[in-house]
Structure 1
Amino acid sequence: MPYIAVTALSHVGLVREHNEDSLAVGPWTLCGTATDNPQTLIFPRGRPLVVAVADGLGGQPAGEVASELVVRRLSALGHALDGEEALREALEAGNRAVYAAAEGRPDLTAMGTT
């Protein structure tokens, strides 16, 4: 069976004291965490596979919250992101969720909100 292998690693970097970046590989997410060793995940080919990195906004307030909202949303929707339009809609919904969280409106950050 053909497969896809994806290896991920997250590091704090040279400037910040903590990691605000998040990533998704299929259903697996890593949010605001540094990894000491690369993680390799294997998936069967033939189905949509989301691989995404969200930068934590370089030390801005709650940058890790924004990056986590986006990758968790993309990860949860991954199986349905089968084309450019579906991906565009998911990214726009993630963007709205980040703005809603920044405005103190957590009711609009739910996974089903578009």
Structure 2
Amino acid sequence: MNGFTINYDRWFIDLFSFSEIGKEDYEWLADFEHHTNKDLTINGFENLQKVYEDVYKNQKHDIPEIEQAYEVAELLVILRLQELFRKTYKSAKESGKKWNDYPMFVTAHDYEMIYRIN
């Protein structure tokens, strides 16, 4: 997912592919071999995106209570994204889709919280 905390106008995902999976760390994820020509816009979070815009434009993340809520909200957005992909994989498996055999790594830009599916 794009850097959603500062790109509040549009949240989207890009898909990347690799011929092999790295073993020791996730640094290899930056060295993708193929990617989608078009990104995929995430819909349904427009109200939350307005909150991110307000916090960012008005520097509200310096207010301790807002900072704490902001950090929790970041994690919840990423977890929701990961849940979306988990459910997509489950549906693909039930439908017999071949791509379900391949692992997928789900995260947001500049986050180390990476979820591996399959």
The TM-score range, normalised by the shorter chain, is under 0.3
Using structure 1 for the length normalisation, give the TM-score: 0.27
Using structure 2 for the length normalisation, give the TM-score: 0.27
Q: Which has the higher strand share?
A: 1
Larger radius of gyration: 2
